Structure 1
């Protein structure tokens, strides 16, 4: 896993330091979910997406960083070889295990929201992947002590999560302006907030039990 500097964690933490709507890992997950099936939008496109998801608009430098990273992720996921280098935005191994698992939990929830916003139609196999990712998003972190010694668990969760976008990024890209979220939702369509709420409506798994 890359260091905080190489992974971009430090850049994201600095750029979004004053933006507290969601964590940077969750935002990175949302961005990745959308980039799984969409062309990277410009800064104005991200402003529209964030507004429609009822988020505040971050600073100009933060928007530029989001736009740049989205372009990189979109490009990488289109390439069979580059895609395998993708990693969720989580702190490096110098951070406590609790912090890393919390960030991955946030990223997983964000990715589920992102593909929901993008209106991704999943195959049976892909539904299984997302089902497991939903379990990661629902990990309970009540007891920091219960996570000690769980590095093997961490590596398994991280490797699984990072491969989900690689597995799903095999479809034709569309422009974000054509997403239902921006074109106007039909009466029966779910909003982004409803999709985000649904990601929590899954069985909660205990992190301690996961490594037993």
Structure 2
């Protein structure tokens, strides 16, 4: 799969999730939702699709995900993301708006992706990460605070956003690769309860 194919697929998922959240009357960002999933998956722990649905329901402050369309779409997001992380070759594509969306909204979405990632990852396994990976998490926290008004609609800002997005993508892959290779096997965890989140 080419970079273009992955990016287009992620952009389609963003639009579908955005429409789904409107239908569900949920105030949430598709990017934040994907960041949450990545934050859970990169830990190298066993996370079933059912556990993911319980986790995202908790994060979205829903009792449960019982809408068939929601189950299908969130399940597809889970399968695609898990597959991308497990495939050699840096396949992960961030679920972000396409380039037709205003720059300020894309900046906000990247910040929300980082916010979701940090919520999913929490404070667990920090000791298992390299200094570079821990610094990446600190950068995620800073990116999550970027204000929409801090950027203008300039070509330079467009390039900056592309570079930051790529940095975030590669940092997530780095964290995943470090935790997956720790002690040469993924860690096990119970999936009976959704994990706690940072707020």
How is 1:44-55 mapped onto 2 (pairs within 5 angstroms)? Answer: 44-53=50-59, 55=61
Per the TM alignment, residue 52 of structure 1 is displaced from its structure 2 partner at its CA by 4.5
The residue that corresponds to 1:200 in the other structure is none
Q: What is the CA deviation profile of residues 67-94 of structure 1, one whole-angstrom value per residue up to 9, with x for unaligned ones?
A: 222122112212221xx22121111111
**Structure 2 match to 1:106:** 112
Q: Name the structure, 1 or 2, with higher relative contact order (CA <8 Å, separation 6+).
A: 2
Q: 3-state SS of the aligned residue for 1:139?
A: coil
1:16 aligned counterpart, secondary structure: helix
| Distance in 2 of aligned mates of 1:11 and 1:54 | 17
SS in 2 for 1:80: coil
Give, in angstroms, the shift of residue 23 of structure 1.
1.3
2:29 is aligned with 1:16: no
Please list the CA deviations of residues 38-80 of structure 1 after superposition, one character each: whole Å capped at 9, or x if unmatched. Answer: 33412x3234323554621343311222122212211221222
**Do residues 64 (structure 1) and 68 (structure 2) align?**
no
C-alpha distance in 1 between matches for 2:12 and 2:91: 11
Where does residue 131 of structure 2 map in the other structure? 124
**What is the root-mean-square deviation in Å for CA atoms of aligned residues?**
2.6
Partners in 1 of 2:60 and 2:109 — Cα distance? Answer: 21
**Aligned-partner Cα distance in 2 for 1:47–1:80:** 26
User: 1:80 is matched with which residue?
Assistant: 88
What does 1:132-151 correspond to in 2, within 5 Å?
A: 132-142=139-149, 146-149=151-154, 150-151=157-158
Q: Measure, in 2, the Cα distance between the counterparts of 1:9 and 1:51.
A: 18
**Is contact 2:53–2:74 with CA below 8 Å preserved after alignment?**
no
Instruction: Determine the C-alpha separation between the residues in 1 that align with 2:77 and 2:60.
Output: 21
Unaligned regions of 5+ residues in structure 2, if any?
Answer: none
Q: C-alpha offsets along residues 110-168 of structure 1, whole Å, 9 cap, x if unaligned?
A: 01111117x3333322111111111110112236xx42101111111111111122111
TM-score with structure 1 setting the length? 0.73
Contact (CA 8 Å) 1:73, 1:86: kept in 2 or not? yes
Q: Report what 1:166 is aligned to.
A: 173
CA distance in 2 between partners of 1:69 and 1:135 (Å): 26
| Greater helix fraction, Structure 1 or Structure 2 | 2
**How far is 1:176 from its partner?**
5.4
Task: Give unmatched runs, 5+ long, in structure 1.
Answer: 186-190, 197-212
The ranges of structure 1 where at least 4 consecutive aligned residues each deviate by more than 3 angstroms after the TM superposition are: 3-7, 50-54, 172-176
CA distance in 1: counterparts of 2:152 and 2:30, whole angstroms: 22
- How many residue pairs get aligned? The number is 180
Q: Name the CA shift for 1:124/1:178 in 2 (closer, same or farther; >3 Å).
A: farther
| 1:100 to partner: Cα distance | 0.8
